Structure 1
């Protein structure tokens, strides 16, 4: 099994394969869909060229994407976004997996497990891999580990790998902003 509770602490272990592809889903959502990050409005890239360039900044292999694939990734990222927001549309994820032919197979030398056809475009491969990783996390009862930042003005998503699945913020800057806001609210009410 890919995700398994450890025998003594019960902490879930996400293996590197699922973790790598779940982070791909995070990258796609945060780069192509999010409109607020760290308390500021951000404009998601609007064209295939802008999307490819934005993805290439954080994942150099994105430079090989064709423009249609970049647009397809943006549409898929919108579907994946719902899984992190806890309003999981599992039927939409299932449809996405079917549409992009997420099928387990081995290819490469040495053989590596993949969830896309060998001849799949880079965009379809990324969607199949990311969608399958999220489906595996949800399918073993760990969907609560898919989170969205709780700080005001931030829509960034993350995969919670903490021991007790208690992560609430995308990073330290949002955590500090939220704590400062709560402190000012308490100080103002006394």
Structure 2
């Protein structure tokens, strides 16, 4: 009897497809743009116009909403960002609650049919919440939850989706990495 070994079992790495990765990246964008209070060692001022700030961030990340965002959508998405943030610290209970609250259910939409994790009539915030929460759940569910990270630099709450091969990324970006290294150097010099 022949034995088939799936490729991901050889290296111990699960495959995260582009669909899941893209929605996980949207979750990161929502949390970082609409929820964090401190970034790169400084307080973050909430945008005066959430919709405009979100539209700018979406454009910068080549994300095209299927329909125009409204001010009400942007306000609801700020709530979604707050719901998704705990998942980056491994809080699966909060993630499960978000999945239920936003009606996450696999279904096919459009012509040609495309897989989505929200009902056909869902509002944009509920659709994005369901799809993003499902993507985060899938990342965690395939044993790759350590890829959902918060920046380890002091004074930074930014989150990221670590796509490095060995999940070694610790900081949201180079500025936080440099701040952390400089702080550690100064602490060693004082000791």
Give the TM bin, normalised by the shorter chain: 0.7 to 0.9
* Superposition pairs of residues 140-151 of structure 1, within 5 angstroms: 140-151=142-153
Structure 2, unmatched stretches of 5+, are: 1-5
Counterpart Cα distance in 2 of 1:5 and 1:94: 30
Structure 1 consecutive aligned stretches of length 4 or more whose deviation exceeds 4 Å: 60-63
The one of 171, 177, 181 aligned to 1:179? 181
The one of 73, 81, 87 aligned to 1:83? 87
Aligned to 2:143, the other structure's residue is in SS state coil
Relative to structure 1, the CA distance from residue 85 to residue 44 in structure 2 (aligned partners, 3 Å threshold; closer, same or farther) is farther
Count of matched residue positions in the alignment of Structure 1 and Structure 2? 181
When normalised by structure 2's length, the TM-score is 0.86
Would you say the 8 A contact 1:69–1:124 is kept in 2?
A: no
Structure 1, unmatched stretches of 5+, are: none
When normalised by structure 1's length, the TM-score is 0.87
* Superposition pairs of residues 47-62 of structure 1, within 5 angstroms: 50-60=49-59, 61=64
Aligned to 2:105, the other structure's residue is in SS state coil
The one of 66, 70, 77 aligned to 1:73? 77
Counterpart Cα distance in 2 of 1:19 and 1:5: 19
Cα-Cα RMSD: 1.9
Higher mean C-alpha displacement, 174-183 vs 24-33: 174-183
